[in-house]
Structure 1
Amino acid sequence: MPHLDPFTVPEFHLPFDNSKDPAGDRANAEATAWAVDRGLIEAGASEQFAGIGFGHLAARVSRDAPYERLLLLSQWMAWSFVLDDQHDLLIRAGRVRDWQPISDAITRHVSGGERTGAPRPALDNPLVASFAELCDGIMAGMTPLLQARYRRHVPRMLRSLDEEAANRLPGHRPTVEDYVLTRRHSSQLLPMMDMVEADQGIEVPDEAHRTPALRELMWSAIDVISWGNDVFSLPKEYSCGDTNNLAALLAHWHGLTLPEAVRAVEQRIHDRVEEFRAAARDLPRTLDALGVTDPAARTAVEHRVRGYEDWMIGADLWQRHDCTRYRDERFAAGLEAAYTRPDLVSVA
């Protein structure tokens, strides 16, 4: 692997306001303790794990939610970081096949199927057991409409992890276009956005939810968050040969240096934000043209768009100020985090 040229994380073009729920510290500490109690991480690694700051991210994107829902979102985020890092560990160890029983058991539970069809070791695994606990609590606070979306988004998220594993096969690099499509789901943002909408009492009806204009606003926001995260995580992913990074792929396919590729990502983020803002300004006229006239539906759409703004600026501020993950020397060197557990996914 060639040497990683030094680069500076840009100040991305994110002209949105953000504030943080003051309960973020408490939620972060309690979600960390929950992860230890459920066997997701060892107690000795809890300080490093807490440094990810998932409670602070939750507090930036779901302000004023009841504390129990803020904590649930923080726990879900903690679980999702363990999921992502354990999946990465399996890829590095050449044990991706061990992942399938875990993924199947999670998919079966969120889909409402009988869990008895899963292998017993998968059901007993802390990743599956803690997911089932979280999932049941999450859906208890959702309307049937939001439950249906959440049930669709979690399995798609899991499939995207399989796609990222395939992208890391020796000698393979996805195209930039294919990677962007996968990254929209491997970001794990859609289930979390469902949770925040439920906690904020936002329910966009299907006739508005399915409109191309509103879906493009959603993808714009997710692209901005994901591409920014790729810059923050570039040292780690470059160091361990992970091809699932927009800057690394732009460098490869367009013959750029990494600093040039980072600047290219910055420009893409700028353009995507401006597309988002233009589409948001035009949304009332778009809804008129589509015949979406119900005031409650239009208000829900407005709140969703404001929520996307919270996600874009909140994720950026979290990475810059609340999270030690991207400043950790082990992480930047491409090494495993201290809290990953080689025995966590073992279903043989």
Structure 2
Amino acid sequence: MPAFPHSTTSTPTAIAVPPSLSLPVIEAAFPRQLHPYWPRLQEKTRTWLLEKRLMPADKVAEYADGLCYTDLMAGYYLGAPDEVLQAIADYSAWFFVWDDRHDRDIVHRRPGAWRRLRFRLHAALDSPRDHLRHEDPLVAAFADCMVRLYSFLPQSWNTRFAGHFHEVIEAYDREFRNRTKGIIPTVEEYLALRRLTFAHWIWTDLLEPSAGCELPDGVRKNPAFQRAALLSQEFAAWYNDLCSLPKEIAGDEVHNLGISLIKHQGLTLEEAIREMRRLIGKCVDAFLVAEDDALRFADGLDDGTVRGKELSTAVRACVRNMRNWFSAVYWFHHESGRYMVDSWDDRSTPPYVNNEAAGEK
């Protein structure tokens, strides 16, 4: 299956997907696309990471393109205006760096540093312009992302997005406490927490500026739209868990669907992998049904008025991009250096992270 290379060339590279991670239905039924802005996106996000001091220059040079963060977003938000996609891609890159800081704060037992960062992010989310020059590069870069993302749609969208991300920050705090105490959540507890730590509703919210239209509550909360959105995100989170399992076992993680299955349902590693694959397959099948329902809902919104046509077009764009999330996530996990644990010198320490005492200043 051709997949996009880690460069700005157009020559495809064949990616070998391990049998345990292979999903033929994704490769066959979810053709991969990439936003035409991607080569420029990759270049500008790399520059942004440097300018915002989110990664040391040597790590940006060696790892940034191979981590494929921009590929992930360029494969998801098709049709987005270039400036919207750029803001989303920079925010996504920030999110990965934040996730790594969170992990290092846990590994190095830095609860004070994490607590300060948590409160600063809450504050920056509500008043980003006041934090653009914050001493912590992670906070300043986050504020930059928020100023840009808040510029595309009305205040009502901004308020909703902020509310969703406040919940994500608090979910990361729950994960911090679980990991420092060695608490492995039950499967049900984990799945509920995962919807927040994976930021399901953040990535769904960002479908709207990509489509150039804020969706009213009655449209956004329609069961057909909500189900398609949830299933696309559940697939991404669970497939991430499947691909991350070796990395997270090596890093003494406690937050992974496979780890919860092993701990609380008594499964072996091999049985847990089979069960995860079964759940992921069911999720894909359910999405194909939900997608049809959501597209029918979109068609019904076109009532002959200008507003009806606008909403119908926007919902169809959002649902198409929910579909794109499947292939974007799938190929990302096989191209990104983030999951190539076997190539790391230390399986518990990603080579692209700043493993120093960041945050203790």
Equivalenced residues, count: 336
Unaligned runs of 5+ in 1: 1-5, 117-121
Secondary structure of 1:140 counterpart: coil
Corresponding letter in the other structure for 2:164 = H
Match of residue 9 from structure 1:
21
Judged with a 3 Å threshold, the aligned counterparts in structure 2 of structure 1 residues 339 and 286 are, in CA distance, closer, same or farther, namely closer
- Residue 195 (1) aligns with residue 178 (2): no
Distance 1:300 1:89 in 2: 40
Report if aligned partners of 2:66, 2:337 keep a CA contact under 8 Å in 1. Answer: yes
Report if aligned partners of 2:153, 2:213 keep a CA contact under 8 Å in 1. Answer: no
Cα deviation, residue 67, structure 1: 2.7
Match of residue 144 from structure 1:
155
Distance 1:23 1:42 in 2: 26
Cα deviation, residue 210, structure 1: 2.2
Judged with a 3 Å threshold, the aligned counterparts in structure 2 of structure 1 residues 228 and 331 are, in CA distance, closer, same or farther, namely farther
Corresponding letter in the other structure for 1:23 = Y
Judged with a 3 Å threshold, the aligned counterparts in structure 2 of structure 1 residues 215 and 66 are, in CA distance, closer, same or farther, namely closer
* Deviates further, 94-103 or 35-44: 94-103
Cα deviation, residue 342, structure 1: 2.3
Corresponding letter in the other structure for 2:278 = Q
Distance 1:130 1:41 in 2: 11
Cα deviation, residue 211, structure 1: 3.1
Secondary structure of 1:123 counterpart: coil
Write the mapping of 1:52-91 to structure 2, written as runs, cut at 5 A: 52-91=67-106
TM-score (norm: length of structure 2): 0.83
Q: CA RMSD in A?
A: 2.8
Corresponding letter in the other structure for 2:120 = A
Distance 1:133 1:113 in 2: 7
- Residue 243 (1) aligns with residue 257 (2): no
Match of 2:226 among 215, 218, 232: 215
- Residue 308 (1) aligns with residue 327 (2): no
Distance 1:64 1:281 in 2: 20
Match of residue 3 from structure 1:
none
Report if aligned partners of 2:211, 2:314 keep a CA contact under 8 Å in 1. Answer: no
Report if aligned partners of 1:16, 1:310 keep a CA contact under 8 Å in 2. Answer: yes
- Residue 342 (1) aligns with residue 342 (2): no
Corresponding letter in the other structure for 2:85 = L
Match of residue 111 from structure 1:
126
* Deviates further, 48-57 or 190-199: 190-199
Report if aligned partners of 1:231, 1:247 keep a CA contact under 8 Å in 2. Answer: yes
Cα deviation, residue 175, structure 1: 0.7
Unaligned runs of 5+ in 2: 1-17
Deviations 1:113-146 (A, max 9, x none): 8959xxxxx9321011111111101111223332
User: Aligned residues: percent identity?
Assistant: 26
Distance 1:265 1:292 in 2: 39
Report if aligned partners of 1:41, 1:341 keep a CA contact under 8 Å in 2. Answer: no
Distance 1:185 1:211 in 2: 20
Distance 1:12 1:181 in 2: 28
Match of residue 43 from structure 1:
57
Judged with a 3 Å threshold, the aligned counterparts in structure 2 of structure 1 residues 237 and 307 are, in CA distance, closer, same or farther, namely same
* Deviates further, 235-244 or 16-25: 16-25
Distance 2:153 2:287 in 1: 27
Match of residue 184 from structure 1:
195
Report if aligned partners of 1:292, 1:298 keep a CA contact under 8 Å in 2. Answer: yes
Corresponding letter in the other structure for 1:103 = R
Higher relative contact order (CA 8 A, sep 6+): 1
Deviations 1:229-283 (A, max 9, x none): 1111111101111011111211222222222211211110111122222233234
Distance 1:236 1:265 in 2: 16
Deviations 1:294-334 (A, max 9, x none): 4443443332222211112211122223x122114228812
Match of residue 204 from structure 1:
215
* Deviates further, 302-311 or 323-332: 323-332
Cα deviation, residue 56, structure 1: 1.0
Judged with a 3 Å threshold, the aligned counterparts in structure 2 of structure 1 residues 194 and 331 are, in CA distance, closer, same or farther, namely farther
TM-score (norm: length of structure 1): 0.86
Match of residue 34 from structure 1:
48
Write the mapping of 1:221-300 to structure 2, written as runs, cut at 5 A: 221-283=232-294, 294-300=308-314
Judged with a 3 Å threshold, the aligned counterparts in structure 2 of structure 1 residues 271 and 332 are, in CA distance, closer, same or farther, namely farther
Distance 2:252 2:193 in 1: 18
Report if aligned partners of 2:244, 2:339 keep a CA contact under 8 Å in 1. Answer: yes
Distance 1:249 1:337 in 2: 27
Report if aligned partners of 2:52, 2:141 keep a CA contact under 8 Å in 1. Answer: yes
Corresponding letter in the other structure for 1:340 = N
Judged with a 3 Å threshold, the aligned counterparts in structure 2 of structure 1 residues 149 and 42 are, in CA distance, closer, same or farther, namely same
Distance 1:288 1:55 in 2: 32
